[in-house]
Amino acid sequence: MGDAPPPESDTDETQFGFERVPTAAKTARVKRVFDAVSPRYDLMNDLMSAGLHRLWKRFAVDLLKLRPGHVVLDLAGGTGDIARLLVKRFPGQNRVLVSDINAQMLWRGRDRALDAGLVDGLEYVQGNAEALPFASNSIDRVTMGFGLRNVTHKDQALAEIARVLRPGGRVAVLEFSAVKTPLLSRAYDFYSFQALPRLGQWVAGDGDSYRYLAESIRVHPDQEALKFMMERAGFEDVRYYNLLAGIVAVHVGWKY
């Protein structure tokens, strides 16, 4: 079982991968990373995960127990993979809000949805997960796929999700996590810190951004620590599902 993380504080420094940076500078640095990777983001996701990210996202959406009429927030929605799954569950019957701090990612997601003929029910909102531009108790379901580890104040983002969810609402947080098999962990480290930056340099022309992404996974709270953080933010019945021996985990919580 992982140790409970200490409360996040307003110190002058925070983690940016393995590097300590001024807290006020992290958001801008993360934005530069995603500005750099956005042109090849979807291709790299397929290459990095051998396409498995699509199955992981579908599993997270299944756990939401979505129903017709729900208002759903896809937070840190990026290029909209999860949002497109959500809107296709009950065509024309749900309102799906795609929110991301990075405008370039949102534009690419909107273009992909248009190319797929998906218009009705999708809305795009640029915003910060730490200060969501939505009314309290206005959202039925929230997804956050591979975005929480890039947030400066994770406790604040989780508190904001709890605020905007209606009573009876549910959140599914899909994120890279801690590998539970020692042999696989060593192989995963080699892939993350040797192969992945080279792949990023070759495909996207940017090895440094993918080195940061690998580092950001290692400093992200593990399964039990994130469960504790969600409970501290006010979620109940929090549980998690390990995928690929914990390379990825889906945390689910309810607001009652």
Enclosing H/E stretch for 4: none
Q: Residue 49 pLDDT more than 60?
A: yes
Q: What is the pLDDT of residue 5?
A: 52
- pLDDT band, very low/low/confident/very high, at 1 (cuts 50, 70, 90): very low
Could you tell me which residues are beta bridge partners of residue 21?
A: 14
* Residue extents of the structural domains in the chain: 33-255
* Exposed/middle/buried for residue 177 (C-beta within 10 Å: 0-12, 13-18, 19+): buried
Strand locations in 95-154 (E): 95-100, 122-126, 139-145
As a whole number of Å, the end-to-end CA separation of the chain is 26
Q: Residue 95 pLDDT more than 70?
A: yes
Task: Show contacts of 35-38: CB within 8 Å, 24+ apart.
Answer: 35/102, 35/104, 36/204, 36/206, 36/209, 37/200, 37/204, 37/206, 37/209, 37/210, 38/79, 38/102, 38/104, 38/105, 38/108
Share of the chain above pLDDT 70, in %: 96
Q: Residue 21 pLDDT more than 90?
A: no
**223-240 mean pLDDT:** 98
Q: What is the pLDDT of residue 242?
A: 98
Buried b (16+ CB within 10 A) or exposed e, 83-102: bbbbbebeeeebbbbbbbbb
**Each residue of 72-88: pLDDT tens digit?**
999 999 999 999 999 99
Question: How much is the mean pLDDT over the chain?
Answer: 92
CATH 3.40.50.300 given to domain 33-255:
no
Higher pLDDT pick, 6 / 143: 143
What separation in angstroms does the CA of 69 have from each of 14, 34, 92? 40, 32, 9
Q: Residue 6 pLDDT more than 80?
A: no
Q: What is the pLDDT of residue 11?
A: 59
Q: What is the pLDDT of residue 83?
A: 97
**208-230 mean pLDDT:** 94
Q: What is the pLDDT of residue 80?
A: 94
Neighbouring residues of 238: CB distance < 8 A, sequence distance ≥ 6: 227, 230, 231, 251, 252, 253
